Amino acid sequence: MKLKEYLDKLTKLYEKYGGDLDMVYASDDEGNHFDYVQYEPNAGTFHDNEFTGTKEKPDCICVN
């Protein structure tokens, strides 16, 4: 998913429900585990299943 698509979906939820809801994440698409989002989104690079935070030429956003 691209950042714009993600933001569009979050914006619609924000407009419908407001900004005072807690954020949670799922560990996988089957919903085997949920927990609260604890960290700010970060820009970085993602290669070979490894994320490295960087502000120069990122290729992804890590959301938790």
Largest alpha-carbon pair distance within the chain?
A: 38
Per-residue pLDDT of the chain (64 residues; tens, 9 = 90+): 999 999 999 999 999 999 999 999 999 999 899 999 999 999 999 999 999 999 899 999 999 8
Residue-level pLDDT at 64? 81
Return the closest-CA partner of residue 38 out of 14, 64, 6, 20: 64
Long-range CB contacts (within 8 A, 24+) of 6-13: 6/63
Q: Residue 46 — φ and ψ, nearest 5°?
A: -135, 110
